[in-house]
Amino acid sequence: MTAQDMLKLKKSLGTIKPLFTFQQCKKCKSTVKIAGHHVTYIPEKVEPLCSKCHAKITALNTAAAIVTGINKDNDLEKCNVIRRKVWRWFLRKKKFITLTDIALFLGIDYEFTDDQISYIVCAGERCL
Ligand SMILES: [Zn+2]
């Protein structure tokens, strides 16, 4: 490899940012099975979460989408607002999260149907 090749390689590596500066779950601080969670898709905001916490936030986002009827395909702007709110709330919340907690957090009086609960629980793997 020539010096010029080395310089090219160094330049190209310099433009590659690691996805996360260190692999630690933003919620529980675990370092096991860390993956990127899309807080929002467009613009893209990705945060590191362990698989357990990722399942929980996925369930919360699923519940929020069911309750509000808003998703990234039908209203991107409102979807981003909701997903950011859910994300901040998720990071703050310390205790077990129930469906009532989600409805209260979203500021609505809402009764989930059995089908919706099943769907949310499947998405969240018993986190609700
Ligand atoms: Zn975690």
Cα(18) to centroid(ligand 1), Å: 20
Ligand 1 center to residue 93 CA distance, Å? 13
CA–centroid distance, residue 29 to ligand 1 (Å):
6
Count the alpha carbons within 13 Å of 106 in the hemisphere toward its beta carbon: 25
| Whole-number pLDDT of residue 25 | 93
- CA 52 / ligand 1 centre spacing (Å): 6
Mean pLDDT along residues 105-128: 62
Give the dihedral sign, CA 87/89/91/93. negative
Whether residue 106 has pLDDT greater than 90: no
Give residue 118 CA to ligand 1 midpoint distance, Å. Answer: 23
CA of 104 to the centre of ligand 1 (A): 23
> According to the model, what pLDDT value does residue 47 have?
95
Angle between helices 51-68 and 76-92 (to 10 degrees): 130
Q: For residue 95, what pLDDT is reported?
A: 65
Q: Residue 35 has which token pair?
A: 């993956």
Residue 20's pLDDT band (cuts 50, 70, 90): low
Q: Concatenate the DSSP letters of all residues of 48-99 into one string.
A: EEEHHHHHHHHHHHHHHHHHH---TTT-HHHHHHHHHHHHHHHHH--S---H
Distance 51 CA to ligand 1 centre (A): 7
pLDDT band at 9 (very low <50, low <70, confident <90, very high): low
Q: Are 37 and 55 in contact (CB under 8 A)?
A: no
Q: What is the pLDDT of residues 74-91, one digit of tens each?
A: 999 989 988 998 898 889
Token pair for residue 14? 């310099």
Element (H, E) at 38: strand 34-40
Q: Is the pTM of this model over 0.85?
A: no
